Structures are given as C-alpha cells and as structure tokens.
Amino acid sequence: MFEVSYKFLIIIIIIALGYVAKRFNVLQKSDGDALSRLAFNFTLPAVIITVFSDVSFEKSYIVFPLLGVIIGIIMFGASLLVYKRYTNKVKGILTMPLLGINIGLFAVPLVQVIWGEEATKYLLMMDFGNAFVIFILCYMVGAVYAQDKKDVNIKNIGSKALRSIPLLIYILTIALKILGIYYPKFIIDFALIVSKANTPVSMITLGLFLSFSFNMFQLKQLMRFWMTKYGIGLALGLAVYFFAPLENIQKLVILLAFILPSSFSVIAYSVELKYDTKFVGVLVNSSIIISIIFMWVIALVTR
C-alpha cells in the first residue's frame, strides 16, 4: 500500500511542478502546447513501439480496441438522455468531454508506473479504438451542436484522424505484428530511450494546462457532467470488474478506462467550433483531479 501511494505521490508532485512553474511564469501555457505535441508525436509513439515489441497478439485482444469505441458510444447515448433539456451549445460543451478519454498523456504514464507493462499493453490497444472516438465521433458531435457549424465535413474529419501520429503508429505496429514482421533492433532501442521521457513530459504538460476558473451558473452543469461521467463510468466499470469472464488485469484496465479523464483534444475543438473554451477547460481539468483520486483508490484496493 505504501509503495502504491508513494508512486502516486511522485506523479502528483510532477503535475504540481508544471502547475507551479506556470503560476510563477517559469513556463507558459504555450510551453504546454509544445510539450503536448512532443508527447503525442514522439514519446507516446515510442511507448507504443516499446510495449508492443514483445507482444504476441491473440484473437481475444480484439475486444480492447472495440471497447475503446464502445465506451464513447455509451457515453454519447447517456448524453442524449441527461442533456436533452439543454441548448445545443451547452450540449456540445458537455458532450465532447464525455466521449473520448485521455489515455496517451494521462493514463499510459500512470499505468506504466503503477501496474506495469502488461496493463499498459491492454490500455494502448483500447486507445486504438479511443482514437477514432476522439478524432471522428467527438468532433462530429461538437460540429453538429455548434450553432455556426451546420454541416459536418467528413473529408476534413478523416484527414484530421489520418494525420494523428499515434494512430498511424498503432496501425503500422499492429499490421506488422499480424504479418509477423518486427521492427529493427535499432528502432526498438531508440524507442525505449525516448519512451522514458513520456511520464515526466506528460505529467508536466497536465500541470501547465490545469485551470479551474468558472462561474456559479456553470457549477450545476459541471456537477451534472461529473455525475454522468463518473456515475455511469463507475457503475459499468465495476460491473465488468466483478462479473466479466476475463483475466484480472484485463478487467482492471477496463475499469480504469471507464473513469479516465476527458481528452485534451476537446479543448482544441472548442476553439475551432467557438464554444466556451475556458469552461471546456474546467471540465477537462477537473476530470483529471477526480480520475487521479479514483485511480489511487482502485490501486490501493486492487494491489
């Protein structure tokens, strides 16, 4: 128990370091933009290559990419019921952060430290499906609800998805595995070195983006978002954990996936679609804090 808490404490201190550095102008929010691009385009792809380099794919693994999509669809269905009385603008603000989950910047570093490579492998496979939720479903929902975006350009959405370096690395790595082709040793060794930077870079980036500025009128919407995301997420995640006929580590990863924070991509979408970016940021950032607490409790109970 002490070891788990100690590891979580280190992670929280790294996040706090990024936040304090921003508050004292040692680093700027623009530095967070640069670090997030570094993580998504370099350190996370390196983690994908490293983790999957020794993995032998089994047919049962296909469930995890599908679950990445299913979680997004479930949450979208819930949003249609819970947010039906809101205006389209508010529906867009509350629904986008409800769909995709933050696996690359948030979950992968934490899970690697706390639960190891086996759990990280399943999580990364789930992120393959989650990427389609973020780049396609999430953007489409935001665009439909935005008052000034009546039409959804499928071509542009597909183009955004195919420019995602992590998604391309997922596709390439899985395709090579299926064909029985392996990365050269030099690439594996190079990726191993770069992947070690993923945890500090990702956690400092989270700290730089932390912000909790909102008005009291938005508090009710914020609480409804929390209740929808974590109420449904915990209920479904615990049902899988206690009743699904899977290995313990697989059930644990699915439980974690249901309570992970919102994807940072929705902040970029909110800028493009002219939503209240500051409030979207509050939704995303508050989900980080809540998810850390839930993951800490789950780690203490299951380790």
**For the segment 174-222, what is each residue's pLDDT rounded down to a tens digit?**
788 778 888 899 999 999 999 888 888 888 887 887 776 666 677 889 9
Tens of pLDDT, residues 80-99: 999 988 888 899 999 999 99
Give the model's confidence band at 284: pLDDT under 50 very low, under 70 low, under 90 confident, else very high: confident
Q: Among all chains, which residue has been given the structure tokens 């009128």? A: 217
Tens of pLDDT, residues 219-241: 889 999 999 999 999 999 999 99
pLDDT surpasses 60 at 149: no
Q: Give the predicted TM-score (pTM) of the model.
A: 0.82
- Say how many CA atoms lie within 13 Å of 26 toward its Cβ: 10
**Which residues are within 8 A (CB) of 199 and not within 5 positions of it... i.e. 6 or more apart?**
11, 14, 109, 112, 113
Q: Among all chains, which residue has been given the structure tokens 């953007």? A: 139
Domain topology for 2-302:
Na+/H+ antiporter like fold (1.20.1530)
47, two tokens: 């983690």
Indicate the residue type of 192. L
Nearest Cα to 154, choosing from 168, 135, 176? 135
Residue 33 and residue 24: Cα distance in Å, rounded? 18
Question: What are the residue ranges spanned by the domains of the chain?
Answer: 2-302
Residue 11 and residue 5: Cα distance in Å, rounded? 10
Return the CA Rg of the chain.
19
DSSP 141-207: HHHHHSTT--S--HHHHHHHHHT-HHHHHHHHHHHHHHHT----HHHHHHHHHHHTTHHHHHHHHHH
